[in-house]
Chain A
């Protein structure tokens, strides 16, 4: 299971810092919410339910965008494997 890297610092303004390699990122408000939920150990399905309950979006689009976002987090080495 992939979880968000514990060391990642994220501010409410969407500034993300990875202290392991010094890289920084910015996320939009919905991206901030997703990362915050991940830090609370919420699983993808739960995050999706949250987004569907709060935003005007179709489930298919939401799932696709969430998978894409997770893919980008992984690409940027912000996720870690947890057995």
Chain B
């Protein structure tokens, strides 16, 4: 009894935890497929893919993605290189200096990105001027500055990842290579680098993601190369559209793909290694080792295939699917509702008019004092009664809402 309660609360906790983690993503993904032009998951109106096509027609977003990819690639190259150099240095430096060196090299992670952004801007501007270059030189280009600015701290992340792997490296391997006649460069390339490859791959992925999502450093340095995050931030300022949800959904799907592919590869490698271990010498040398199939015992690979098929199906559906009928239906329904509401309003107004006609002599009396009141007539009971008559005016475009709430305009567009 007690135990089952405990188990129940653990499940409950997990449910809440995952709802908290994944809930926003789910809601956002739903809004990408819902037809209202303000991103909303409820009420569900129509399944639509138009936000995806809207996304792919938005040149600013596309340009932002292009810039982000460009800057991401540059940052990966620069950060991984610097990170590897820093990590190697850490293993070579005198033990006494090691702690100090570590602190210095880790410091950029602790410094706010804003500070890094500003200082990058100022520093390279100085350098640029010192070298006597103009304002359109490479050193003041947004592309260069953003890559350099982001790399200041992303390189530290990379270094942490690389150091962890490097600590497991046996320096005797390099010595063995040297002893067998390799130059230092050859020993590095043929022995150390292959050993570091997995860590370099992780560092590269980490660097790319950090670069892709960076905002606070980039915001100072982007110049004429606004990245995706910058573009999104600027867009959101003028109102948000489901096209952004569509973009987010694509990123989520790509992430899931990458994670599954990675997991499937790792699992695959393990299975192959196990098969090799169990193989006999004859099988190995004859190349007749029976390796396990790609999908056997590999959940991630199965999921990967399922997700791939699902994606293909969805994309296939999207190209032939047309939500026009549904949207028309929804519009028709809205029109009917609006008509009904207008009808009600009209009826109410008629009643009020009747009522007003009966009470007219009493209410018109104090109207003379309206304009002179310091409250602009706000407290004038007449002003209140006057409001319902507004819809009667045909010049609805003057209102602050641009006639969006005018039932008459809806009726017009419905036909």
| Same complex | no
A binding-site residues for B, Cβ under 8 Å = none
B binding-site residues for A, Cβ under 8 Å = none
